[in-house]
Amino acid sequence: MSKKTIIVTGGSRGIGLGIARELAAHDCNVVINGRRPQADVQDVIDALDTDVLYVAADVGNKGDRAKLVDETVARFGRIDGLVNNAGVAPDVRADLLDAGEESFERLMRINLQGPYFLTQAVARQMARQHEADGESRGSIVFVTSVSATVASINRGDYCISKAGLAMAAKLWAARLGDIGVGVYEVRPGVIQTDMTSGVADKYDQLFKEGLAVERRWGLPEDVARAVGLLARGEMTYATGSVLHVDGGLTLPRL
């Protein structure tokens, strides 16, 4: 088979860029999705040593999701993997008693509704591929967060969006097994990215105090190694699995 073609949403920075680099290093065609114009991320694209397609699209927008799938198929002829990585944090961390509906609706549209229906569109393409040759397989990875199960009362909207995404991974795993598509969830802990830069001092201290078993920040490449393994289809007979990449943060301890 020719090189695998894998879509990485939010692939131009942070965890997504780490995943794109990992896939490029393993000779995959990489489709990077982001909301910025291509000119703003051209240096990132040029640094990836593989065939890269950049599609400026908002996963929270139905038309943009269709554009992402259509342009990928037009360029590479097929889709072998999807990494649902794109997500946003609340504009303002607000206590549950003060939080507004606008932030909630924004996070649900981008963090949950977007990847849920992008998966639907990609799964339909994978189903056509499977029907055409009877052997085609695919992989879909949902990048969620420890916030899917760990409550943060000053960003409830984010936690709920990630908990919903965790269930979406289970649902799609149950639905797509018959067409040879493995679906997985990777649940990162506290990762050093642009999104967490504003709370760096807080977590520096928490790690020193033993927040996680491994007393350090997680790095994008930590998550990327796990996602790459799954997205390339190298972990078999394990659909529906949840892989924790959190340095032992959620490990119950006495």
The answer to whether residue 158 is catalytic is yes
Q: Which two tokens stand for residue 229?
A: 């393994």
Contact 132, 77 (CB under 8 A): no
Query: Considering only CA atoms, which of 234, 165, 222 is closest in space to residue 19?
Result: 222
Bridge partners, residue 33, by sequence: 9, 55
Bridge partners, residue 24, by sequence: none
Q: Which two tokens stand for residue 59?
A: 């996963």
Region of 221 (left: φ > 0; alpha: ψ -120 to 50; beta: rest) is: alpha
Can you tell me the distance from the alpha carbon of 236 to that of 248, in angstroms, rounded to the nearest whole number?
Answer: 24
| Active-site hit among 158, 184, 203, 237 | 158
Active site residues: 158
